[in-house]
Amino acid sequence: MNEHDSERMLWLLSERGYRMAHSEEHADLILLNTCSVRYKAEHKVYSALGVFAPLKEKNPNLIIAVGGCVAQQEKRRLLSRVRHLDLVFGPDQIDELPDLVESVREGRSRLMAAEFKLGREFHLPTLLPETFALLPAGERPVTAFVAIMKGCDKFCTFCIVPFVRGREKSRHPDEIVLEVRALVENGVKEVTLLGQTVNSYHYEGVSFSELLRRLDAISGLERLRFVSPYPNDVSDDLINCMADLSSVCEQIHLPVQSGSNRILEWMRRGYTREAYLEKILKLKKRNPDISISTDFIVGFPGESEEDFEETLSLMDEVKYDSVFSFCYSSRPGTKALRLGLEEVPGEIASERLERLQALQRDYTLEKYRALVGKEAEVLVEGRSKSDVSRWTGKTRSHIVVNFDATEGVNLKGALVNVKIEKALLSNIRGVYHPEVRS
Ligand code: SF4
């Protein structure tokens, strides 16, 4: 979501004539878009701001702004702690960003704007072809994010999101369809729908599944993904849509956080291990090729060795394709701090995290190795950054594929069949079979 917000800031400022500077030294506006979901990310904001202080001394006209979740959480405290900061703006003020910057530039002093907008729906101006025209043809994206809902009503006890992103709000389905259509008309082949609990989307009788059906009908949209769904809101209708709609990829990132019922209850996740596994079973039954990934928090207060082993056994049962895993990070204002549970010492949490990640590496490699010798459909996103002689793209199951092509044609945006030759830990390697589908 943050990545998408940064894109929006860039687009909005481009429309006012701003261009990306080559470095901070050449910039007359520095924007930090921030995340406060873990302490480390929040801490980084203050370090980065410290680095920018000498630039402001050299160039007093430089504007430094902080947006995103840390801005929403800290508000005026940020302005008073960082004297060279000019602007603090929350996630609900992104669309006002160009005006806010202008106000600072016109000398209306330092500004703080971080208020949630009222109401249960939200609007985003659609990115129009004019904004695409600002990009040279070769740089136009093949994949795009589209925010469909934001905020969260779930209040898991470890999570700061409802406090910094506000309550759940959904976007009008017509607005979403218009935006996806505009993206597809401008060369986008794959769209990822975004929301903190994306499948909780509902707008006046239009459910998430219904929205998928409407988007699937858009001609030229090859692939549709969504992130991150909330397990309890994975309905049978959604499972069927995933199996039946041709654009919806056979892939789901379904955050579980822990395999222990005791921990899930303390986290207030709203489901048990058994209920979660039942959803996984249904997903696999209707979509036998589905790729499943998840999030884990290790070392939540009160987590015993037995609880952690429950997490490992859940991993063994599901055999995830990949996982995102972190040590628990306490966040101000969250309920976990008031549960009176004993903290898990840092070294124990880190050791558990290492064990979990080592186990997952084996599962991921096993899955990747099973693909060697087979062909996979890859949507080509461009040249590989680590080796420009290779092309890079993703499979429908969201695996990164780097591959060599025997033909010298520009493959960006094409769907190609790649013969898989080698499995690595973070990607797979292959060679392009010269049978381009589109
Ligand atoms: S559902 Fe996700 S975003 Fe919402 S409170 Fe829980 S962890 Fe945070």
Does 166 sit in the ligand 1 pocket, CB within 6 Å?
no
Residue 256 Cα, ligand 1 centroid: separation in angstroms? 11
- Name residues of the chain where pLDDT drops below 70: 125-137, 435-438
Residue 150 Cα, ligand 1 centroid: separation in angstroms? 11
What is the DSSP code (8-state) at residue 257? Answer: B
Return phi, psi of residue 16, to 5°.
-100, 10
pLDDT per residue over 56-99, tens digit each?
999 989 999 999 999 998 888 999 999 999 999 998 899 899 99
Nearest to 230 by CA among 180, 288, 295: 295
Does 324 sit in the ligand 1 pocket, CB within 6 Å?
no
The CA distance from 193 to 48, in Å, is 30
Q: What is the DSSP string of 387-427?
A: -TTSEEEE-TT--EEEEE-SS-S--TT-EEEEEEEEE-SS-
Within 10 angstroms of residue 121's Cβ, the number of other Cβ atoms is 13
Residue 152 Cα, ligand 1 centroid: separation in angstroms? 6
| Ligand 1 site-directed mutation target among 69, 150, 152, 296, most atoms within 8 Å of CB | 152
Does 152 sit in the ligand 1 pocket, CB within 6 Å?
yes
- Which is it for strands 391-394 and 375-383: parallel, antiparallel or unpaired? antiparallel
The CA distance from 208 to 168, in Å, is 14
pTM for the structure as a whole: 0.92
Residue 161 Cα, ligand 1 centroid: separation in angstroms? 6
Residue 250 Cα, ligand 1 centroid: separation in angstroms? 24
Specify burial of residue 219 (Cβ count, 10 A radius: 0-12, 13-18, 19+).
exposed
Does 196 sit in the ligand 1 pocket, CB within 6 Å?
yes
Nearest to 190 by CA among 393, 410, 428: 393
Q: What are 363's two structure tokens? A: 């599962």
Domains of the chain: 2-113 (3.40.50.12160), 119-249 (3.30.750.210), 261-370 (3.30.750.200), 375-433 (2.40.50.140)
Instruction: For the chain, report the end-to-end CA distance as a whole number of angstroms.
Output: 30
Q: Which pLDDT score, from 0 to 100, does residue 394 have?
A: 97
3-state secondary structure of 66: strand
pLDDT per residue over 156-197, tens digit each?
999 999 999 999 999 999 999 999 998 999 899 999 999 999
Residue 283 Cα, ligand 1 centroid: separation in angstroms? 22
